[in-house]
Chain A
Amino acid sequence: MTTTQEHAPNPAAGDPNRPIGFGRIQRKEDPRFVRGKGNYIDDIVLPGMLHGAILRAPVAHARLVSIDTTEALAHPKVRAVITGKDLQGLNLAWAPTLSADVQAVLVTDKVRFQGQEVAFVVAEDRYAARDALELIDVEYDVLPPLVDARRALDPGAPVIRDDIEGRTDNRIFDWEVGDAAETEAVFATADVVVAQEVVYPRVHPAPMETCGAVADFDPVDGRLTLYETTQAPHAHRTLYAIVAGIPEHKIRIVSPDIGGGFGNKVGIYPGYVLAVVGSIVTGKPVKWVEDRSENLMSTSFARDYIMQGEIAATKEGKILAVRTSVLADHGAFNATAQPTKNPAGFFSIFTGSYDLKAAYCKVTGVYTNKAPGGVAYACSFRVTEAVYLVERMVDVLARKLDMDPAELRLKNFIKPEQFPYANKTGWVYDSGNYEPAMRLSMQMAGYEDLRREQREKRGRGELMGIGVSFFTETVGAGPRKHFDIVGLGMADGAELRVHPTGKAVVRISVQSQGQGHETTFAQIVAEELGIPPESIDVVHGDTDQTPFGLGTYGSRSTPVSGGAVALVARKVRDKAKFIAAAMLEARPEDLEWEKGRWFVKGDPSVGKTITEIAFAAHGTVPLPDGIDGNLDAEVTYDPPNLTFPFGAYICVVDVDAGTGQVKVRRFIAVDDCGTRINPMIIEGQVHGGLTDGVGMALMEIIAFDEAGNCLSSSFMDYLIPTAMEVPDWETGFTVTPSPHHPIGAKGIGESATVGSPPAIVNAIVDALAPFGVTHMDMPCTPARVWEAMQGRARPPV
């Protein structure tokens, strides 16, 4: 395999006197996982626990006429059957979404998408619960569905949300950013203007573990313990307090080991609420775990953006402006999980990595009879859609100008001296150095040789394509003054306790779904304090044990919680200085720090290690005024800005001229996420995202027929790449630290998911150039590629 990834361990690793901080170390969580000792939601078994199952609507749009639960209730193993009417009595039939809308927990009036929750059965075992679903008799009055988002605003379109008083159409919002007039002026005078519709179809994060919950309500003290597959346990706690009226101090959310999230596990789903209701009603713990079809049909999808792109440039290839109008399909309820002020997420970063004179975008969100959701699948709050649009448009422009796509990008990058860079839509890019990353990827790829090979193959009628993309990511929200979820500012807490023997526990507010937090955050403390990572436990995923914070999504764990952990460790280090000074009978200002110890300036032999200081902190040494007898600290970190990781990707594809089958032969990914904490984990994050990209570019789509039936409701139809469809990834990196982050780190979790789809599609379109193809939409299945080769490329929706 070809890789320029660093595999060398931290230089300090071999020296027992210099404990490791940053560098490649094995993950602390792996010993339990490789033994099958993870603790996922379905592994949790409580005494007397019952099992819940959800009856779901078979149609996309229908009036609910009646529900008869008599037979189901008569089933000997059934303990409860809950309907929308029952929830109305509890004032729980509708729950607020994360986007200031409401969503039905169970249908009371009208079914609004296929797979919507209609009734909940609680039974003694999971088989019986499923059996009882068959015994519920529901009568529907089927209504015409609205499936095509392009028709959502037609005058005669069915109004989906007649539950909202006064609503007469399906428009959720219109949102615009940038200067329309300034942009129009640039477009009007530009040498070259090209336009292209670009569709990012609906896809699904489909983590290997589906969503689920175990609710345990104690009627005596009114306390709810809720085990949940959630990426944001603290935000959920507050929302349950608001939704269910249970006092927040009586709610404990436990997010155990999570079998992948990718944004699928950010929102609150009806199933979670129903498990809680089931536990309240029966007085027993209730487990609900959805099956794969439920996961694909009802939980948070991603994308579904129809984008009209325009790009303006000089004839020499200087890009001047970009403009787009977007139709965003949000499904039946507006339940996207994103900052309040950003109804289209961070889509306005669609100016990409280029120095532009003007930019403008308008996004219109609409309701359709499809599942709700919309911000998921490692999308970085819709940076995924933004990068896909601009990187596709730059390639369309390159073709128009007959320029090499890599050359065109190099010509237009924001220059290193322009950072911090304020773009035309209100973002301030913290740092960047794009050209070296682009050059490195071209060097790794052997770009000129690839182009030569392509020319030779074209001469023989073989279809080879080379695709380039360059992305700038936007991750790590807050600052809290700009970004909130339902009013909760996007900051994160950390608490650090160093025990008397020098072992430490750090408690964080973000939750891992596989990213390796137990390792990465221990390494940050290790780097700051010199305590070895194996002597540091990271506690997360339990609201009773961790400080408040907004959770893991949008690649925010390292940018936000990583900052919190670095700062809390520095707070401990500063405190340790005063204690060391007391121990050494020296003045604090006369001490100097090296990793793991404070010593007297000019006399390194006189010093105290962090372990010695920790014992003294809890010991008998008289402490200076204002210094508590411990070595603990806590912080809440409110980041001053987002971080802006970037990367240069090159994809090489071969297309079978007879079948349209695409083979991703090579993929070169150069990423810059600033300071690198654990290169092994970073590489893993990149590999996973690249595979997502192959999935979306080649095979993944949540499709519907005209009646609103979901055609992608199992892994038979929703295809995900296996080891056979992906190449051996070639990764490289550059390092441009964030100037404002405490350790210069930027976040990496979603970079590859953001950056890879345009590289793959650009490669396929490049391969199809001999057929005059200048664009095709994902997924590039053999049939759709073949159609494009026949001049019949069509959008997927």
Chain B
Amino acid sequence: MQVSMTVNGEAVTRDIEPRVLLVHFIRENLGLTGTHWGCDTSNCGTCVVLMDGQPVKSCTVLAAMADGHDIRTVEGLVVGGALDPVQQGFMEEHGLQCGFCTPGMMLTARALLDRNPHPDDSEIRQAISGQICRCTGYATIVRSVQWAAAHPAVTDTAADGAGTGESNSEEVTA
């Protein structure tokens, strides 16, 4: 079957088997390997992407279900060559170690800050509670998101699933 969607601001269309999971579509059909896979049961959240601005576990979404929707992956966090404040925050506050859960954590954080620019620590913990990090113990992730909240990008007000950079267009269409 044919599916069409917007990924990081670029329109993509592919022929796929109907059973293909969105995570595999993103990783293997589009070659965007920043989205990871970590469990079979929708528990770990390493596969989180934003669908129409909302975090979804892409291992539990068929690519066909994303047809016509707007997808944003970690590769779409960089806008106009500049890191998203969330990305900067994770580096500033040691919010990552092995880096495997990091893309999903950052996308959830981005979605949180888009609807709540000044969350308290418990709101951040709640937001990432569907995702597992085995390395950091979460406190530094909370600090990373707080760093991002304290350093909003000028373009943040416009940031949503569609607001993505040119720098990634080649990867999507390649």
Bound form: Cα–Cα A495–B156 in Å:
45
Query: A209's closest neighbor in chain B, by CB?
Result: B100
Which positions 674-704 of chain A face chain B at CB distance < 8 Å? 680-681, 683-684, 686-692
Query: B31's closest neighbor in chain A, by CB?
Result: A45
Which positions 110-146 of chain A face chain B at CB distance < 8 Å? 126-127
A328 to chain B, nearest CB (A): 25
**Chain B residues positioned under 8 Å from A688 (CB to CB):** 97, 134-137
Contact between A260 and B134, CB atoms less than 8 A apart: yes
**Chain A residues positioned under 8 Å from B159 (CB to CB):** none
Hey, what's the 0/1 contact readout for B97-114 against A, CB within 8 Å counting as 1?
A: 111111100100000000
Query: A125's closest neighbor in chain B, by CB?
Result: B28
Query: B91's closest neighbor in chain A, by CB?
Result: A30
A17 to chain B, nearest CB (A): 25
Given contacts A31-B91, A35-B87, A260-B98, contact A716 B41 (CB under 8 A): yes
Is there a chain A Cβ closer than 8 Å to B63's Cβ? no
Given contacts A36-B33, A36-B103, contact A726 B137 (CB under 8 A): yes
Contact between B87 and A208, CB atoms less than 8 A apart: no
Contact between B74 and A29, CB atoms less than 8 A apart: no
Bound form: Cα–Cα A731–B32 in Å:
38
**Chain B residues positioned under 8 Å from A729 (CB to CB):** 137, 139
Is there a chain B Cβ closer than 8 Å to A163's Cβ? no
Query: B101's closest neighbor in chain A, by CB?
Result: A208
Is there a chain B Cβ closer than 8 Å to A568's Cβ? no
Is there a chain A Cβ closer than 8 Å to B6's Cβ? no
- Size category of the binding interface on chain A: 35 or more
Bound form: Cα–Cα A208–B44 in Å:
8
- Size category of the binding interface on chain B: 35 or more
Given contacts A35-B74, A36-B33, contact A726 B138 (CB under 8 A): yes
Contact between A723 and B125, CB atoms less than 8 A apart: yes
Is there a chain B Cβ closer than 8 Å to A516's Cβ? yes
Bound form: Cα–Cα A402–B72 in Å:
60
Query: A731's closest neighbor in chain B, by CB?
Result: B139
Is there a chain A Cβ closer than 8 Å to B164's Cβ? no
Contact between A292 and B33, CB atoms less than 8 A apart: no
Contact between B134 and A724, CB atoms less than 8 A apart: no
B124 to chain A, nearest CB (A): 8
Bound form: Cα–Cα A593–B46 in Å:
48
Contact between B106 and A34, CB atoms less than 8 A apart: yes
Is there a chain A Cβ closer than 8 Å to B120's Cβ? no
Query: A692's closest neighbor in chain B, by CB?
Result: B134
**Chain B residues positioned under 8 Å from A38 (CB to CB):** 34, 99-100
When the two chains form the complex, which single residue of A33, A208, A728 contacts B132, counting CB atoms closer than 8 Å? Answer: A208
A325 to chain B, nearest CB (A): 33
Bound form: Cα–Cα A632–B102 in Å:
37
Is there a chain B Cβ closer than 8 Å to A514's Cβ? yes
Contact between B121 and A36, CB atoms less than 8 A apart: no
Bound form: Cα–Cα A210–B46 in Å:
12
Is there a chain A Cβ closer than 8 Å to B66's Cβ? no
Which positions 729-788 of chain A face chain B at CB distance < 8 Å? 729
Query: B46's closest neighbor in chain A, by CB?
Result: A208
Contact between B40 and A293, CB atoms less than 8 A apart: yes
Is there a chain B Cβ closer than 8 Å to A452's Cβ? no
Bound form: Cα–Cα A514–B83 in Å:
21
Is there a chain A Cβ closer than 8 Å to B78's Cβ? yes
Bound form: Cα–Cα A37–B75 in Å:
8
Main secondary structure of the interface of A (DSSP, over half): loop
Contact between A715 and B91, CB atoms less than 8 A apart: no
When the two chains form the complex, which single residue of B90, B98, B130 contacts A209, counting CB atoms closer than 8 Å? Answer: B98
Contact between A514 and B97, CB atoms less than 8 A apart: yes
B41 to chain A, nearest CB (A): 5
When the two chains form the complex, which single residue of B74, B91, B100, B129 contacts A26, counting CB atoms closer than 8 Å? Answer: B91
**Chain B residues positioned under 8 Å from A220 (CB to CB):** none
Contact between A292 and B140, CB atoms less than 8 A apart: no
**Chain B residues positioned under 8 Å from A605 (CB to CB):** none
- Max chain A Cβ within 10 angstroms of own Cβ: one of B36, B91, B139: B139
Contact between B39 and A723, CB atoms less than 8 A apart: no
Is there a chain A Cβ closer than 8 Å to B51's Cβ? no
Contact between A684 and B97, CB atoms less than 8 A apart: yes
Contact between A206 and B134, CB atoms less than 8 A apart: yes
Contact between B94 and A681, CB atoms less than 8 A apart: yes
**Chain A residues positioned under 8 Å from B40 (CB to CB):** 291-293, 714
Bound form: Cα–Cα A684–B93 in Å:
10
Hey, what's the 0/1 contact readout for A17-39 against B, CB within 8 Å counting as 1?
A: 00000000011011111111110
Bound form: Cα–Cα A722–B132 in Å:
6
Contact between A43 and B33, CB atoms less than 8 A apart: yes
Contact between B41 and A715, CB atoms less than 8 A apart: yes
Bound form: Cα–Cα A259–B99 in Å:
7
When the two chains form the complex, which single residue of B34, B46, B126, B143 contacts A724, counting CB atoms closer than 8 Å? Answer: B126
**Chain B residues positioned under 8 Å from A244 (CB to CB):** none
Is there a chain A Cβ closer than 8 Å to B131's Cβ? yes
Is there a chain A Cβ closer than 8 Å to B56's Cβ? no
Contact between A35 and B134, CB atoms less than 8 A apart: no
Hey, what's the 0/1 contact readout for B19-39 against A, CB within 8 Å counting as 1?
A: 110001001000011111111
Contact between A127 and B121, CB atoms less than 8 A apart: no
A492 to chain B, nearest CB (A): 21
Is there a chain A Cβ closer than 8 Å to B64's Cβ? no
Which positions 115-156 of chain B face chain A at CB distance < 8 Å? 121, 124-126, 128-143
- Max chain A Cβ within 10 angstroms of own Cβ: one of B38, B91, B103, B142: B38
Bound form: Cα–Cα A26–B95 in Å:
11
B73 to chain A, nearest CB (A): 7
Given contacts A36-B73, A687-B140, A716-B43, contact A724 B125 (CB under 8 A): yes
Query: B127's closest neighbor in chain A, by CB?
Result: A723
Contact between B137 and A690, CB atoms less than 8 A apart: yes
Contact between B32 and A720, CB atoms less than 8 A apart: no
**Chain B residues positioned under 8 Å from A209 (CB to CB):** 36, 38, 98, 100
Query: B133's closest neighbor in chain A, by CB?
Result: A208
When the two chains form the complex, which single residue of B17, B19, B96, B139 contacts A30, counting CB atoms closer than 8 Å? Answer: B96
**Chain B residues positioned under 8 Å from A262 (CB to CB):** 134
Query: A681's closest neighbor in chain B, by CB?
Result: B94
Contact between A259 and B137, CB atoms less than 8 A apart: no
Query: B96's closest neighbor in chain A, by CB?
Result: A33
Is there a chain B Cβ closer than 8 Å to A373's Cβ? no
Contact between B74 and A720, CB atoms less than 8 A apart: no
Query: B125's closest neighbor in chain A, by CB?
Result: A723
Contact between A514 and B135, CB atoms less than 8 A apart: yes
Is there a chain B Cβ closer than 8 Å to A40's Cβ? yes
Is there a chain A Cβ closer than 8 Å to B166's Cβ? no
Hey, what's the 0/1 contact readout for B155-171 against A, CB within 8 Å counting as 1?
A: 00000000000000000
Bound form: Cα–Cα A707–B90 in Å:
46
Is there a chain B Cβ closer than 8 Å to A515's Cβ? yes
Is there a chain B Cβ closer than 8 Å to A645's Cβ? no
Bound form: Cα–Cα A531–B132 in Å:
38
Given contacts A34-B90, A723-B128, contact A714 B41 (CB under 8 A): yes
Contact between A259 and B41, CB atoms less than 8 A apart: no
Is there a chain B Cβ closer than 8 Å to A42's Cβ? yes
Is there a chain B Cβ closer than 8 Å to A513's Cβ? yes
Contact between B137 and A691, CB atoms less than 8 A apart: yes
Contact between B134 and A208, CB atoms less than 8 A apart: yes
Bound form: Cα–Cα A48–B172 in Å:
21
**Chain B residues positioned under 8 Å from A662 (CB to CB):** none
Is there a chain B Cβ closer than 8 Å to A393's Cβ? no
With A29-B99, A259-B98, A687-B140 known, 6 other A-B pairs at CB within 8 A are: A32-B99, A34-B77, A42-B36, A208-B132, A259-B100, A716-B41
Top 8 closest pairs, chain A to chain B, by CB: A36-B34, A514-B98, A259-B100, A687-B137, A33-B99, A36-B74, A715-B43, A514-B97
**Contacts from B to A (Cβ < 8 Å):** 17, 19-20, 24, 27, 32-41, 43-44, 46, 73-75, 77-78, 83, 87-88, 90-92, 94, 96-103, 106, 121, 124-126, 128-143
CB<8 Å pairs between A and B, sample of 21: A31-B91, A33-B102, A34-B106, A35-B34, A35-B74, A35-B77, A38-B34, A40-B33, A42-B33, A127-B20, A208-B36, A210-B38, A292-B38, A513-B98, A680-B94, A684-B135, A687-B137, A688-B135, A691-B137, A723-B129, A724-B126
